[in-house]
Structure 1
């Protein structure tokens, strides 16, 4: 199955091509992407198409650091609703773990793994595109974004112990040195960032009462966007926050940078309220999670934000007319998950 990524992954692509004297249109269409899609950052496209686009663009522009140059045009808000939540995490570790846990919300092909040994931590980055492809440009784009996020979390002058790439160095590494600092290394065993574990436990300097420009303008601009509404954005945040146990309307409002009354006002304008949206998200998720085999039913209840498996079972029965276990038996096409199913 093809992994997907959002158009937001290539924010600034057309502008970069233009600055390098290249028409982006044939390059986009050559990999099956439409130029108009660049104006729809939340639309999903095959990640393999983006990887091919970046490689072809690097060749067409004779710019071997094309992916890194694209990083300069990315914004924190390019992560979508995830950016609103990680901004509020109290320390770097919790922000990073949230980013890793919900990486499928912005790029299904990206895989990040945190490995810690004594006082050193390594964030390993891999790309799973579903088929073989050159990923130099995509890897450098992903690493540039990750490095930028860590620098935002820690503060502008922060530097890692090392930034590693599996591919060999280009002839000119000046952009890499400018982006990552002097500790960039090539032809390494893995692609990733090495840092002190103390960096992970440091406070997230982005967290606090101040509201970033993206969050401040978020709801006010939703009505002008064809594919995003207050309801859809609140739904996205609810889905993100449910497993954390912090899925209150106050937390959603805080993530959006507004007060709860503003959230209620926007939802009411769409004929909704917070309770009905929360329940609708749970219904949609439960239908698929219960029928699938990835999680036990106890784990599903936790992912949906229920305080106990029994509460989840009662809610599920009222919504679907049968218990979660009966639903799984009826609609499952795969083997039983495990002992946790028997609890609900």
Structure 2
């Protein structure tokens, strides 16, 4: 299956896009992503979509250093729970090896490799999307973030022996030299960083030896056992695709790099089905959207992929035992009952009205 990446791969993309006069939301939609979900940093998305967003941004801004510009915003904390563990590693080598060992926790397409020879360490960065390509902006982002992380562990003014890129030089070298210093090579045979091996033995000034075991245990709690299941991958993609109006088993299969029959077969092996996942996801989203009162029923039905308001209403009634309008009214009355406004009906009156009008199965709390 095609690799996935977490939305965290696009951290600060919106800010960067606005600073360059771009429309980040449109760029994300064009790549098949839902802009409203970018705040859900742990949600998985197709890695290829994240790569495409950066390439589209580079073309729209007419800049060939978008990946490096985005790298400037990154911090160790953007790695999520893994950052807590890295911070407590005793030296740079231990932190780097941990990062390499657990790179699949945040990006399944990322490949970081460390080699050492004659006192020189080389850290190579590559992306494996299942097909050939340079993926310039995402590769630049990976190298830039890696450099900033190593620099953060060693010293603010630290510079590597050299930084290599397999692509030609950008039109403007100012940002590149600002990040890495003057020792940057282009049209190289790899993307990555070269440094003295002794730099990897630099003690980590942030580490607290008494905290290391705790953070290792924490990492074990966060790390999933083995590769993500097909059900988990499909569920993440359904949540991603539903608001775009392009949620189908065919689209999910394309995002995973397989055909629809393979999706059905693997889900069946795991004791579920695409229709069950779609129905459960719709139910979770529908409850939230109907309760929030921010959107009309027509808009909600369209967001959940129903062809007409009538189809949405019939599905909702079958699923929850009442129409979406009744559900919304019920949750509103519950709110009035629990938090009665001043100079309005009493909570007792609201409770009587609530009990009289709501059918069985309504969202009444505390019953």
Please tell me whether the aligned partners of residues 155 and 205 of structure 1 are also in contact (alpha carbons under 8 angstroms).
no
Name the CA distance, whole Å, in 2 between partners of 1:75 and 1:8: 12
Name the CA distance, whole Å, in 1 between partners of 2:47 and 2:208: 34
TM-score by length of 1: 0.62
Please tell me whether the aligned partners of residues 51 and 134 of structure 1 are also in contact (alpha carbons under 8 angstroms).
no
* Aligned-residue offset at 1:189: 1.1
Name the CA distance, whole Å, in 1 between partners of 2:227 and 2:162: 44
What is the aligned partner in structure 2 of residue 20 from structure 1? 20
Q: Does the residue aligned with 2:14 lie in a helix, a strand or coil?
A: helix
Q: Does the residue aligned with 1:169 lie in a helix, a strand or coil?
A: coil
1:73 aligns with 2:13: no
1:151 aligns with 2:142: no
* Aligned-residue offset at 1:286: 8.4
Give the structure with higher Rg (CA). Answer: 2
Q: Flag as ranges the 4+ runs of structure 1 deviating above 4 A.
A: 286-289
1:138 aligns with 2:138: yes
> 1:301-339 CA distances to partner (integer Å, 9 max, x unpaired)?
xxxxxxxxxxxxxxxxxxxxxxxxxxxxxx9xxxxxxxx
Name the CA distance, whole Å, in 2 between partners of 1:210 and 1:69: 37
Q: Does the residue aligned with 2:142 lie in a helix, a strand or coil?
A: helix
* Aligned-residue offset at 1:132: 3.7
Q: Does the residue aligned with 2:225 lie in a helix, a strand or coil?
A: helix
Name the CA distance, whole Å, in 2 between partners of 1:75 and 1:173: 23
Listed as ranges, the gaps of 5+ residues in structure 1 are 212-245, 257-276, 290-330, 332-344
1:171 aligns with 2:171: yes
* Aligned-residue offset at 1:65: 1.1
Name the CA distance, whole Å, in 2 between partners of 1:179 and 1:288: 35
* Aligned-residue offset at 1:75: 2.4
What is the aligned partner in structure 1 of residue 107 from structure 2? 107
Name the CA distance, whole Å, in 1 between partners of 2:125 and 2:14: 26
1:285 aligns with 2:191: no
What is the aligned partner in structure 2 of residue 189 from structure 1? 189
Name the CA distance, whole Å, in 2 between partners of 1:102 and 1:131: 23
* Aligned-residue offset at 1:171: 1.5
Q: Work out the number of aligned pairs and report it.
A: 230
Q: Structure 1 residues 36, 210: closer, same or farther in 2, change over 3 A? A: farther
Name the CA distance, whole Å, in 2 between partners of 1:67 and 1:168: 14
What is the aligned partner in structure 1 of residue 30 from structure 2? 30
Please tell me whether the aligned partners of residues 152 and 206 of structure 1 are also in contact (alpha carbons under 8 angstroms).
no
1:201 aligns with 2:204: no
Listed as ranges, the gaps of 5+ residues in structure 2 are 230-268, 270-367
Q: Does the residue aligned with 1:170 lie in a helix, a strand or coil?
A: coil
Name the CA distance, whole Å, in 1 between partners of 2:147 and 2:227: 37
